[in-house]
A and B are shown apart, each in its own frame.
Chain A
Amino acid sequence: MYLVDCRGLNCPEPVIQTKKALEEHASITTVVDNQVARDNVVKLVANHGYNVSVEQKERHYHIHITKGESEISFEEKLAPKGDYVILLTSSTFGSESPELGEILIKSYFYTLVEGDQKPAAILLANGGAKLSCVGSTVLDHLKALETKGVEILTCGTCLDYFQLKESLEVGTITNMYSISDRIAKASKVINL
C-alpha cells in the first residue's frame, strides 16, 4: 500500500497528489486532515469508479483507494460500510424508568460491539449526546465500535446546549445537515 501524506495541505493539492499516485500505484492510502480534502479526494476516485473507503483516525482521514471496477455510486461511497444508522435522542434505552434505561443502553451497546450487524453510523442528539462524553457508561463500547469502522457522530448544537463540547471522548462533532443527510441516505434508521 503506497502512502500519500497530505496532512497540512489544502485543496486542490491532496487531489492532485492522489491523482499522480494512482497513475503509478494500484492501491494507495491518502491521509488528509480536513473534510474538504476528504470529500474532494473521494469525488475524484469515485468518478474513476475505483474502490474507496474512508477511515477516521483522530483528526485525520485515511482514504484507502484500490483500482478496479465498482458499480457503487458516489453517495454510497461517501457513506461508510454497513447500511443502517442508529439515531439516539436520549441517553437511556426507553424512558419509563431512567435507571433501567441506563442498564439497557449499556447492554445494547455491548451486544452491538459483539454482534455481526454493525451500523454504518451512530447519531447522537439531544440527551443522546451525553453518551459520547466524559462520564458516560458506554464510552468503551462506543470506542470499540469506532475502531471497527462505525462512525460516532455527536450533534454539536446539543453538546453546546449541555456545555459538553470540551468533554467529547469519542467520535466527531457533526451538524444537522450531516445528520439529516445520513438519515436520508441510510437504508434503515433505527430510532432508540
Chain B
Amino acid sequence: MGPGTLQKVLDRLPSFKCPSLLVGPETGDDAGVFKIDDNLALVQTLDFFTPVVDDPYTFGAIAAANSLSDVYAMGGEPLTVMNIVGFPSCTLPIEVLGEILRGGADKIKESGAILVGGHTVEDKEPKYGLSVTGRVHPERVITNSGAQAGDYLILTKSLGVGIVVTSIKGGLASSETTQEAINQMAFLNKQACEVMIHFGVKGATDVTGFGLIGHAVEMAKASKVSIELYPNKLPLITGAIELARMGMIPAGAYQNREYFSALVEGSPKEEIMDVLYDPQTSGGILMAVTEDKVEAVLQELHQTGVSMSTVVGKVLPKGEKEIYLREE
C-alpha cells in the first residue's frame, strides 16, 4: 500500500503506551521491540506478499529473507517463525505450495531460527511470508532513530529490484539481470546485522517498499537529522538503469515519489530518480556508521560476503529538507 494512504489509516488508531515497549509503531521502524527484563527484549515483525518471481521455491526463499530482514535491521537474532500463507488450492497444484514452503524453510534454517507453526487461508493468488520473533539486548537495539550528524551511510544491497521485477513480468529482463536480482532478494541480511552488532552501530533500517529515499526520510525524521545521498554512488543491479529508461517503473515508485518528493532537494537524472524511489523487495540494510569505523565496517562486510556494500551518503545536522541529493 502507498505510504500516504497507509499513514491516514494508522493515524486513527489508538496509541499503546507501555514502559516496556522500546520501539512502537510511531517511528515507522522495521519491527516492534518489547523489553522482558534488563537483558532480554523481544523483536517482532510480520510481512507477506504476492509472488515476485515465477519459481515457487525461489519466491518462498525471497519472502522468508524479506520477513527475517526486519529483525536483522533492529540488530536482533531471529528465534522462532511462523508461516503465513494464502493459496488458491482449486486453481494451483498443491505441489506449488510445497515448493513455496520448502524455499521458505531452507531460508529459515540458514537464519538459525526455528519454524514453529503457521496459518493458511484460501486466496485468489498465492501469498507468503513470515511472522518472526527475535531477541535483542535492550541496550543494543538498533533503530532508525539512531543516526547522528557526521555518520556515513552504508547500503548493503544494490538498488533497482522493483524495476527488474516489473521487467521480468514484461519479459524484458535479461537472464543475468534476473539472476542478479533474485540472488540479492534471497540473500539474508544476517551478516550485515552481525557486522552492525560487532561495531556497535546505533542507527539502521532495511530498504523495502518506500525505496531508498523513503526509508532515508523515515530515518532522518526519527533521528531528527537530514541525510545527504550521493546519486553518483548508488550500487545498482546490472541493467536496472536501461530498464528504467524503457519505462519499467512500478506503480509503487510513482506513489513514493508523490509522497516523499516534497522532502527532497536535488534533481539527478530521471532514471536515477526512478531508482531512488524504486520499491525494493528484501532490500539491503542502510546503516549509519561513525566516520572512524567506516573503512573497517566496509571491509568486514565485504569479507563476510556482503559484497555490494558501499557508502551511499552522509548524515547531516537537521536542515530544511530531510534529504539532499548531491553528487559526491
Q: Which residues 9-66 of B sit at the A interface, judged by CB distance below 8 A? A: none
**Beyond A16-B171, A47-B246, A75-B270, is A11–B262 a contact (Cβ under 8 Å)?**
no
Cross-chain contact B254 with A12 (CB below 8 angstroms): no
Q: Tell whether B123 is near chain A: CB-to-CB under 8 Å.
A: no
Q: Tell whether B166 is near chain A: CB-to-CB under 8 Å.
A: yes
Q: Tell whether B189 is near chain A: CB-to-CB under 8 Å.
A: no
Cross-chain contact B261 with A12 (CB below 8 angstroms): no
Q: Tell whether B245 is near chain A: CB-to-CB under 8 Å.
A: yes
Cross-chain contact B247 with A42 (CB below 8 angstroms): yes
Cross-chain contact A16 with B170 (CB below 8 angstroms): yes
CA distance A33 to B172 in the complex (A): 23
Contact of A74 among B170, B254, B257, B270 (CB under 8 A): B270
Cross-chain contact A177 with B166 (CB below 8 angstroms): no
Q: Tell whether B293 is near chain A: CB-to-CB under 8 Å.
A: no
Tally of contact residues, B, Cβ under 8 A: 20
Cross-chain contact A43 with B251 (CB below 8 angstroms): no
Q: Which residues 50-77 of A sit at the B interface, judged by CB distance below 8 A? A: 74-75
Q: What is the CB-to-nearest-CB distance from B301 to chain A, in angstroms, rounded to a whole number?
A: 33
CA distance A11 to B248 in the complex (A): 8
Cross-chain contact A15 with B170 (CB below 8 angstroms): yes
Contact of B247 among A10, A35, A41, A175 (CB under 8 A): A41
**Beyond A15-B170, A16-B171, is A39–B246 a contact (Cβ under 8 Å)?**
no
CA distance A105 to B166 in the complex (A): 47
Q: Which residues 235-267 of B sit at the A interface, judged by CB distance below 8 A? A: 244-251, 254, 257-258, 261-262
Identify the closest chain B residue to A14 (Cβ).
Answer: B247
Contact of B248 among A15, A42, A175, A177 (CB under 8 A): A15
Q: Tell whether A189 is near chain B: CB-to-CB under 8 Å.
A: no
Main SS class of interface, B: helix
Contact of A36 among B169, B254, B270 (CB under 8 A): B254
CA distance A128 to B257 in the complex (A): 26
Q: Tell whether A13 is near chain B: CB-to-CB under 8 Å.
A: yes
Which residues from B are CB-within-8-Å of A107?
A: none
**Beyond A16-B170, A43-B245, is A11–B261 a contact (Cβ under 8 Å)?**
no
Main SS class of interface, A: helix
Tally of contact residues, A, Cβ under 8 A: 21
Q: Tell whether B310 is near chain A: CB-to-CB under 8 Å.
A: no
Cross-chain contact B254 with A39 (CB below 8 angstroms): yes
Q: Tell whether B133 is near chain A: CB-to-CB under 8 Å.
A: no
CA distance A136 to B53 in the complex (A): 52
**Beyond A11-B166, A74-B270, A177-B258, is A43–B249 a contact (Cβ under 8 Å)?**
yes
Which residues from B are CB-within-8-Å of A41?
A: 247
Q: Tell whether A176 is near chain B: CB-to-CB under 8 Å.
A: yes
Q: Tell whether B67 is near chain A: CB-to-CB under 8 Å.
A: no
Contact of A177 among B170, B244, B245, B262 (CB under 8 A): B262
Identify the closest chain B residue to A177 (Cβ).
Answer: B261
Which residues from B are CB-within-8-Å of A43?
A: 244-247, 249, 270
Identify the closest chain A residue to B246 (Cβ).
Answer: A44
Q: Tell whether A40 is near chain B: CB-to-CB under 8 Å.
A: yes
Q: Tell whether B131 is near chain A: CB-to-CB under 8 Å.
A: no
Which residues from B are CB-within-8-Å of A16?
A: 170-172
Which residues from B are CB-within-8-Å of A40?
A: 247-249
CA distance A121 to B248 in the complex (A): 27
Contact of A176 among B166, B167, B257, B262 (CB under 8 A): B262
Interface string of A19-43 (1 = CB under 8 A from B): 1000000000000000110011111
Identify the closest chain B residue to A12 (Cβ).
Answer: B170
Query: What are the 4 tightest A-B residue pairs by CB atom distance, in nearest-first order?
Result: A12-B170, A40-B247, A43-B247, A44-B247
A-B contacts, 19 of them at CB < 8 A, read A11-B247, A11-B248, A12-B166, A15-B246, A15-B247, A16-B170, A16-B171, A36-B254, A39-B247, A39-B254, A40-B247, A40-B249, A42-B247, A43-B244, A43-B246, A75-B270, A176-B262, A177-B258, A177-B261
